[in-house]
Amino acid sequence: MTGAAHPSPRRALVTGASLGIGEAFTRRLAADGWDLVLVARDAARLDGLAAELTGRHGIEVETIPADLSTDEGCVAVERRLSAIPPVELLVNNAGFSLSTPFVRSSVEDEARLIRLNVLSVLRLTHAALGPMSERGHGAVINVSSVAGFGVPMPGSTYSASKAWVTNFSESIGQSVAPLGVRVMALCPGYTRTGTHERAGIDMSRLPAWAWLRADDVVAEGLRDLRKGKLVSVPDWKYKVAAAGLRHAPRRLLRGFRRDTRGAADRADG
């Protein structure tokens, strides 16, 4: 965020705020003096985090326990995005992956993934951009993944959902930039958040050097937002990988994915 043009304190809304990259966003923003609106399914964990951040940084923290794969959850957050005091920064971080291949997965689980990873991002971005455009400032960070850079992952809808998030964010970001509003896709690689373990995905084959720290992902993402980037890929090795994935022949990518299919498809924590 630009900082100087906006009144203090600023207020950010973070979804998936109680764990992983979302929690790292809340801690970084709180340390920078932002008031917060925290959204996640676990009300008790949200309340504990809110009390900790308020006590440590003296900020205001609201909580919204909500399941964003449901209409009710999205409506609750949409209402807050339209309310006062205004939200200056929306971080759409909530999302998940399935450890079951598509042909063995249930339609219900796959639909829930699309509702959370895609539909909730669309709905909340839309809800935020109206008030932001009227005020002439504000920003949205949609947490995507390097898995979305044109890499069809065998049996998985996760990479397809993240390809949508990146394309959507880049497209909408171009359209609202003249209004003084920014939208950016944050596309990390494998990030240590505990998400893989909770999803039952075996990550033992992934080398240590491939892992990113959630705090580093957040710091680079916020720097890139200040620079006005539409897409942020934290860490030089994933920048190289993303560039290669965008231009490599599709046949080569399919072969690479077959060779590495034991690795998880959850890249953003």
pLDDT in tens, 22-62: 999 999 999 999 999 999 999 999 999 999 999 999 999 99
Q: Is 184 helix (H, G, I), strand (E, B) or coil?
A: strand
Backbone angles phi, psi at 248, to 5 degrees: -70, 150
What one-letter code names the amino acid at 67? D
**Which residues form the catalytic set?**
158
For 193-229, write each residue's pLDDT tens digit.
655 445 555 555 666 656 689 999 999 999 999 999 9
Please provide the CATH number assigned to the domain covering 11-259: 3.40.50.720
Q: What is the pTM of this model?
A: 0.85
